[in-house]
Amino acid sequence: MTGTGRLTTHVLDTANGHPARGMTIDFYRVEGGKAIFETSVITNEDGRCDEPLLAGENLTEGAYRLSFHVGDYFSRLNGMPATFLDIVAVDFRVSDPAAHYHVPLLVSPYGYSTYRGS
């Protein structure tokens, strides 16, 4: 089943109080328990992707993964050689391809939270 929905994300750096600019995010489809790489994006000045990761007929029912490279981001930003978190993987399901799925990440070097936004 395909639809007219879209998948978006953004990242907020809660440790420094601003959008996470320049963070790499890898995007995967998950089929049969295997993650299949689709694309890699880098967040813009607002901590967002310039375009939806999927939209329209490309957004289908199924399982997906966003892998946020938070360790590299904080190492580059703070000059820290390593942080507690490295890659934060968020696995989620799309059940309604006509809906907007927004997956924000609020992150610090030591913890994170996520939710289904709007």
Kindly list the structural domains of the chain, giving each domain's residue range(s) and its CATH number in brackets, ordered by start: 6-114 (2.60.40.180)
CA angle 93, 98, 99 (to 5 degrees): 60
Beginning with the edge strand found earlier in the chain, give each strand of the sheet holding 34-42 in spatial order: 34-42, 24-31, 62-69, 87-94
pLDDT value for 2: 52
The residue whose two tokens read 């992150």 is 107
The secondary element (H helix, E strand) that includes residue 63 is strand 62-69
One pLDDT digit (tens) per residue for the chain, 118 residues = 455 899 999 999 999 999 999 999 999 999 999 999 999 999 999 999 999 999 999 999 999 999 999 999 999 987 777 779 999 999 999 999 999 999 999 999 999 999 999 8
| Residue 4: alpha-carbon gap to chain centroid | 20
pLDDT value for 82: 72
pLDDT value for 43: 98
